[in-house]
Amino acid sequence: MLDRSVAPPIVDAVNFNLQLQPYQKYTLKNGVEVYAVNAGTEDVLQMEWVFDAGNWQEEKNLQAAVTNFLLKNGTTTKSAYDLNEYFDYYGAYLNRHCYAETAVISLHCLTKHVQELLPAVKDIIANSTLPQKEMEIAVQNMKQKLDVNLKKSSFVAGRLIDVYLFGEEHPYGRFSRHEDFDRLTREDLVAFYEKYYRNGAFKIFIAGKLPQHIDRLLDAHFGDLPNQKSTDRQFTIHPAEQKKYQVINDDKNNQGSIRIARPFFNRHHPDFLKCQVLNVVFGGYFGSRLMANVREEKGYTYGIHSYLLNNRYANGWMIATEAGRDVSDAAIEEVYKEMALLREEPVDADELLLVKNFMMGSILGDLDGPFHIIARWKNNILNGLEDDFFDRSIQNIKNITAAELQEMADKYLHPEAFYELTVI
């Protein structure tokens, strides 16, 4: 009998035995790889078709993003209105997103309706028409949104810091202008769609309470698509020579958007996992060094964070905050002071334990449900990581020492390696 008068023992999150539920893998007859996690108690599922159709593949700026947006705006059998009505009828939600290296079509629906919905998704992949009128409306809306965003210092800072890190011609540094929209034609979109969607390579990620024989169902609807992998494109990084910038975006603005960033490596580098922990200590959570100093002690900002970018090929280490115009320089100086402290003094045992517990607790939250689990697998698979990457990440958090963190700080947290930008 449980004695409720006695409190249960408290166990540090760092001692949790976290495991990532394995996926099931199917291969359709055309070679398309399907990664599935069958879990959850509700009769719902999430399915994602991930195409090699991101900014990395486009010949003209905005070609990938506008094509992806228009996929839902009509096929040879259904108008945009008919498509929306069809998915609404079944209580389903279809969306699409375009990223640097990939583009995604996602479906959320009740498990019992998946058989009726998959033909409509295939129709979008194989028979989209990308109507001229729909393109003109989308482009006009995107231009207006761009005009609104360009008035925001945070938006401008985000664009410019990527240019400094990677170069304006690199997919990670390229940004949109009005003239890019004006140069785009429907023929550009059709050519991109034909190559990277109708005939392009893709993977399928599915999670939730899956119907029986989901592999056969997917094979029946998507196993006859071409799935032709295109030639890998190569880009050269051209970082800016100057390291410090101040941009006036609005003379009347009393706030500065600060971005401090350096080029960095991707997840395959042997120091990446150690630097993930160092980043949390530095500025990766609410109790971080940067928050304690710049927000709590100095009161220069409501929030300041650092993070490692999630690019497949080239990466960056970024510090971002918004501070008062008159204290922006002082805020930047405090960032560099915290870098120096991490280089010169080891993290004490209590702080390191707190960070380890925070990271383990965050991962535990990220494993809550099948959609979060498949998201972790998707990130690992698309980045070309081995299946043991999650386990190695956990062991790294548990076992990393203060001496190793200080070594990483001494290697990577030097002000001269960082680009510094303030947009007012």
Position 243 confidence tier, pLDDT thresholds 50, 70, 90: very high
pLDDT at 149: 96
DSSP assigned state of 206: E
At 206 the pLDDT is 98
pLDDT at 4 exceeding the cut of 90 = no
What are the chain's domains? 24-222 (3.30.830.10), 244-423 (3.30.830.10)
What is the structure's pLDDT at 200?
Answer: 97
* 178 pLDDT more than 80: yes
pTM of the full predicted structure? 0.94
**Beta-carbon neighbour count of residue 423 at 10 Å?**
27
DSSP 144-175: HHHHHHTT-HHHHHHHHHHHHHH-TTSTTT--
Q: Does the structure show a pLDDT above 80 at 44?
A: yes
Element holding 34 (H helix, E strand)? strand 33-38
Nearest to 272 by CA among 306, 316, 239, 321: 316
Residues facing residue 255 across a β-bridge: 324
Of all helices (H) and strands (E), which one includes residue 48? strand 44-51
Alpha-carbon distance of 416 to 144, in angstroms, equals: 38
pLDDT above 90 for 361: yes
pLDDT, tens only, 264-323: 999 999 999 999 999 999 999 999 999 999 999 999 999 999 999 999 999 999 999 999
Tell me the residue type at 183.
R
Give percent of the chain above pLDDT 90: 93
Work out the pLDDT band at 1, boundaries 50, 70, 90: confident
Share of the chain above pLDDT 70, in %: 100
Q: Of 239, 278, 281, nearest to 262 (Cα)?
A: 239
- H or E element, residue 178: helix 178-183
* Helix (H/G/I), strand (E/B), else coil: 202: strand
pLDDT of residue 114: 97
